[in-house]
Structure 1
Amino acid sequence: MKPQITIITKMLILAVCFALFNTLYSQSVSLDLSFDNDGKVVTAVGNYDNYGYSIAIQSDGKILVVGYSNNGSNEDFTLIRYNTNGSLDSSFNSNGIVITDFGFDDYGRSISLQSDGKIVVAGYSNNGSNYDFALLRYNTNGSLDSSFDADGKVITSFGTSNDYGNSLTIQSDGKIVVAGESRNESYSDFALVRYNTNGSLDSSFDSDGKVTTIVNGSALNGAYSVVIQSDGKIVAAGYSGHKQNGTDFRFALVRYNINGSLDNSFDKDGKVTTDIGTFGDLAYSIVIQSDGKIVAAGYSGNGSNLDFALVRFNTNGSLDNNFGTDGKVTTAVGNSKDVAHSIVIQSDNKIIAAGQSNHSFALMRYNTDGSLDNIFDTNGKVFTDIGNGDDGAFSIAIQNDGKIVAAGFSNNGPVHYYPTHIAVVRYNNTNSVSINETAGYSKEMFVFPNPFSTYATLQTSNILKNPRLTFYNLYGQSVKQITSLTIKFGNTISFNRDNLPNGTYFIQLIDDNQIISTNKLVITD
């Protein structure tokens, strides 16, 4: 009599095979040779210096980079759009490059896309005597949007000294939040502005649309990054001077309510400062995990060197002791200046930080506990040389196919002799993607039948407590959520398609705010 192979036995065999396949054939991160043949693109805008500071990826896969370029006398906002193969997009202002001049020195620092595809850029502009917040909105073809403050450009001043807009984000209602710093003669404050969709100041935000916050009195304070939580609260991250002279900086986070007031549920006063090294810590980038925890990245100084620094906070502002040592992680990458300028979080909650080290683009990937991910190019670290001089990444993004795109600058020799140009690098990232493309089976979740037409069943090896399901389209956009689920015998859950059209989706299982798995799912009649 032949032995019977049960369904569970088949599933176990599939699990072992999948695990072996994943171990034997997984690849480390590598340059994407389909991107300008070598994975690297350098764009010279004019004959002088130009830098790329922020990156955004459109739903069609085209890549936008904003920064500034020098025309020989002053700096101007510079916006570039690349096709998916790395070539300049000729449908964008005819040559792929848009330069916007306010009059004097103008610096683009941050970019975000509206749901209608319009492009919003923030930075700062000099009026001849001091700098002010500058905000621009472009149509999808690269022209300025005349429905935005009549000419597509908005200038906002806090006082008579310098104000720097460093980061922007767009709320779900379309309102735009810009964060930076406002200075006077001796110190500076966190500064936030909220704009209506037409570019006017939002009077529901602290009555005049503008908020300044003293994190540490009589010192330098400023925000470099801003994000919106799922509940609408605003979190800004940057630095705060600790000593009276403001030279010993610390990571600084401030959380605001929707109306611009400080959120007293965040470390009691809405403000958190974190000391990491012995001299000088600064946060350049901030992201929110799916469980609401906050991750900030930048650098930490010890008096002679700078190291990559990451800190993870609980939702109440306390340090997350499950991350690194007391919530803090530092990584000595090279011998001197190692700075993380930007971070992103994958769907599996692994963290990728991008910046500069050893005069190169530097990428680090961390596990959820803060340890380096050794399957990311064997030691968690990737360095990319572009020119013969200094190279560095200022911004990072993950495409829907999981590829990593970093933007920054490259120089081909000594800075005073060779101009610096905008640089973009794209990497394959086959081990882990933004939405994990495991076809129907993962080590923790099995969906059957797949494809399906009306109903499907999910089975997992995990003991579920409070599960929910989220469906994503191929652009990574959430299109359906199921929060009320019945757990049946064998940790199975049944669900139906409801009104979802035929197509390919990614289904993500979350239990007690922890991602269990993400699988590819096909719906067909």
Structure 2
Amino acid sequence: MKIVGGGLVALATSLAAASAFAWPGALDLTFGNRGKVVTDLGAQEHAHAAVLQPDGRIVVAGESRMSVPAGQFALARYNPDGALDPLFGTGGKVLTTIGTLAYAGALALQTDGKLVAAGGADAAFAIARYDASGILDPGFGSGGIVTTAIGDFAGATAVAIQPDGKIVAVGDSTTATNADFALARYDTSGNLDPTFGTGGVVITDLVGYDHAHAAALQPDGRIIVGGSTDTSFALARYATDGSLDSSFGTAGTVVTGFPGQIAALALLAGGKLLAAGKASPAGFALARYNSDGSTDATFGTGGMVTSRFGNGAGSYPDAASALVIQSDGRIVAAGSAQPGYSTSLFGVMRYEADGALDQTFAPCAAVTTPFPPVGPLGARATAVLVQPDGKLVAVGTTDYDFALTRYVGSGGASACTPATSGKANLKLRSATGRFHPHITWGWTGVDPVIGDFGDPTAGTDLTLCVLDGSGANRLAGTTPADPCSTGGSCWRATANAYRYAVAGRLAGCLNGFSRARLRVRAVGTATIRTQGGVCGFGVPSPPLALPVVVRLQRDDGPNCWEATFSHPSENDLREFTARSD
């Protein structure tokens, strides 16, 4: 792993046993292994899509590739507890060979329980339909498979099922000089629908290099496609016959001055449309549009919201890939988060209906989840589902394996234990001259026991975050539980302490941390010291908006500690120094 930047974090604290509580965003420990599931399908896998069946089982679709140009559609089905479903395919897994560079980029569930996977193979759209047990449907295409060449190279990234059973696949069509939105519609047998576009195919040039990543089907049958043109958010809406809908945007298309790309779409009440994706150069980006394609000025700032998982003013690959709307109207976005300067994690944020970050969602107003051992490829969520009980399932990839997590989705705000008045201190310094950026935090409260930290040698991840007065997450870092990296263990336990160290300069600092110590002393105080040397920690540059809140949480139990700082003695371009309220 390439290591970039540098930093130092030192935390000294007296930690307390927090009262038992659960908060939205906490890992659901009844799912898989302490809230996480990792599945190796035998090669190099990437998960791209997921659906939730009415019986609570989860189906994931993606690709499995041993080498280039080989590739297969890959599906896996999980029971509600996260275990692979042996009634699906072989041991819960299905691999389908279609052609070279095959991948399933999207997945849809028909009303009859059949599964439609759409993606690419042999430089063409590729669609496969499976019955409920994972067997290819012989009544669809040729042995359950359909391929459609569109341009020199094409691939599908989204799929939708119309009420009449017709299948709409959406993606890109590229040539040597251009890339365009591409759509194809198929009847229930897999034949191209001649009533749609030209021979069942539609190609739309939005002037630039256009890439479609998402689709939504309106109740009236119109189709909305989202993606990017060059480096801007882009949308197109089509009538039921595939023609552009002139009542939407300019002649059926919308190019918004939001730099980035749309990765997911959701229809809202009243005909409004919500898009989520990656802001440029980095960050979760949400945009809301009125039914005519104009931006909704009542959402965020000018119709758009951007959020980060810390990192100060740096440019790192936080990006939303998936979107779901809860029954209460709150918005959940999932994707990749890189709170330090190294590998990425699953990242999940929740927003109020008006685009404000939901401050009740986890102590840090965001969730980052590593999948130890943390390898150089990291983890990224590409789908998010909401169960009928409100729990949230994020699906994606960790180091070439399918990965899933399930989080608590409802409940009260996190009840972090506050520091005793005036007994916490914070010093945060930006990078200046020969000094690395660093943070020192001290917390004093009621007496702890070592068990309050959980057990980082066997599954407990610890996260530190700094929130400013705007509610933004200005700094976040995680020390992953063992096995912390592909290099082996990082944690060591003693009678009253846990020590963390990443071995070797080239092993990398996992999200800003290279060393940590959690120790409970006989007098009831505890110390935490965390250090990054050759890697960075994304420390934000002061001045910071007040008040500033620092929180430390464990991901698998009801323990969280916080301190609030409203009256700093220094808050300038170089340093923030304060004692707690």
The reply on whether 1:347 has 2:327 as its aligned counterpart is yes
* Superposed CA RMSD: 1.5
Mapped to 1, the partners of 2:202 and 2:67 lie a distance apart of 36
Query: 2:249 pairs with 255, 259, 267, which one?
Result: 267
* Residue matched to 1:180: 171
Query: 1:309 pairs with 285, 298, 320, which one?
Result: 285
AA aligned opposite 1:112 = A
Mapped to 1, the partners of 2:180 and 2:101 lie a distance apart of 22
CA contact (8 A) 1:334 1:357 kept: no
Residue 374 and residue 75 in structure 1: after superposition, are their counterparts in 2 closer, same or farther (change >3 A)? same
Cα distance, 1:25 vs structure 2: 7.2
Q: What is the CA deviation profile of residues 447-472 of structure 1, one whole-angstrom value per residue up to 9, with x for unaligned ones?
A: xxxxxxxxxxxxxxxxxxxxxxxxxx
Q: What is the CA deviation profile of residues 34-58 of structure 1, one whole-angstrom value per residue up to 9, with x for unaligned ones?
A: 1114110000111x31111101011
AA aligned opposite 1:222 = H
Q: How does 1:205-216 map to 2 (within 5 A)?
A: 205-216=196-207
Query: 1:365 pairs with 338, 341, 350, which one?
Result: 350
CA contact (8 A) 1:44 1:422 kept: yes
Q: What is the CA deviation profile of residues 52-106 of structure 1, one whole-angstrom value per residue up to 9, with x for unaligned ones?
A: 1101011111110000112345221100001111111111123100000013220
Q: How does 1:13-412 map to 2 (within 5 A)?
A: 27-46=23-42, 48-72=43-67, 74-126=70-122, 131-159=123-151, 161-216=152-207, 219-241=208-230, 249-277=231-259, 281-302=260-281, 306-335=282-311, 336-358=316-338, 359-387=344-372, 388-389=374-375, 390-411=378-399
SS in 2 for 1:321: coil
CA contact (8 A) 1:285 1:297 kept: yes
CA contact (8 A) 2:277 2:285 kept: yes
Number of residue pairs the alignment of both structures matches = 380
Mapped to 2, the partners of 1:231 and 1:376 lie a distance apart of 35
Residue 132 and residue 334 in structure 1: after superposition, are their counterparts in 2 closer, same or farther (change >3 A)? farther
AA aligned opposite 1:423 = A
* Residue matched to 1:523: none
SS in 2 for 1:193: strand
Mapped to 1, the partners of 2:327 and 2:261 lie a distance apart of 26
* Residue matched to 1:486: none
Mapped to 1, the partners of 2:27 and 2:221 lie a distance apart of 37
Residue 322 and residue 26 in structure 1: after superposition, are their counterparts in 2 closer, same or farther (change >3 A)? farther
Mapped to 2, the partners of 1:422 and 1:315 lie a distance apart of 36
Identity %: 39
CA contact (8 A) 2:71 2:99 kept: no
Cα distance, 1:207 vs structure 2: 4.1
* Residue matched to 2:572: none
Q: What is the CA deviation profile of residues 117-175 of structure 1, one whole-angstrom value per residue up to 9, with x for unaligned ones?
A: 0000000002xxxx10000000111110000014100001112x111111101111111
SS in 1 for 2:271: coil
CA contact (8 A) 1:372 1:379 kept: no
* Residue matched to 1:421: 401
AA aligned opposite 1:164 = G
Cα distance, 1:232 vs structure 2: 1.0
Q: What is the CA deviation profile of residues 237-263 of structure 1, one whole-angstrom value per residue up to 9, with x for unaligned ones?
A: 00002xxxxxxx100000001111110
Mapped to 2, the partners of 1:332 and 1:344 lie a distance apart of 19
AA aligned opposite 1:229 = Q
Mapped to 2, the partners of 1:339 and 1:398 lie a distance apart of 20
Report the TM-score when normalising by structure 1: 0.71
* Residue matched to 2:422: none
Mapped to 2, the partners of 1:271 and 1:200 lie a distance apart of 28
AA aligned opposite 2:216 = V
Mapped to 2, the partners of 1:135 and 1:111 lie a distance apart of 10
Gap runs ≥5 in structure 2: 1-19, 339-343, 413-581
SS in 1 for 2:283: strand
CA contact (8 A) 1:76 1:106 kept: yes
Could you say which structure has the greater relative contact order, defined with CA pairs below 8 angstroms and 6 or more residues apart?
A: 2
AA aligned opposite 1:293 = K
Q: What is the CA deviation profile of residues 369-404 of structure 1, one whole-angstrom value per residue up to 9, with x for unaligned ones?
A: 111001111343111111312011011111111111
CA contact (8 A) 2:161 2:167 kept: yes
CA contact (8 A) 1:226 1:236 kept: yes
Mapped to 1, the partners of 2:192 and 2:411 lie a distance apart of 44
Mapped to 1, the partners of 2:102 and 2:24 lie a distance apart of 39
Mapped to 2, the partners of 1:259 and 1:380 lie a distance apart of 44
SS in 2 for 1:30: coil
Cα distance, 1:26 vs structure 2: 7.1
CA contact (8 A) 1:56 1:113 kept: yes
* Residue matched to 2:453: none
SS in 1 for 2:404: strand
Q: What is the CA deviation profile of residues 465-493 of structure 1, one whole-angstrom value per residue up to 9, with x for unaligned ones?
A: xxxxxxxxxxxxxxxxxxxxxxxxxxxxx
Cα distance, 1:27 vs structure 2: 2.9
SS in 2 for 1:275: strand
Cα distance, 1:29 vs structure 2: 2.1
Mapped to 2, the partners of 1:263 and 1:25 lie a distance apart of 50
Cα distance, 1:274 vs structure 2: 1.1
Report the TM-score when normalising by structure 2: 0.64
Cα distance, 1:268 vs structure 2: 3.6
Q: What is the CA deviation profile of residues 217-252 of structure 1, one whole-angstrom value per residue up to 9, with x for unaligned ones?
A: xx31021001101111100000002xxxxxxx1000
SS in 2 for 1:31: coil
Mapped to 2, the partners of 1:178 and 1:68 lie a distance apart of 17
SS in 1 for 2:269: coil
CA contact (8 A) 1:55 1:406 kept: no
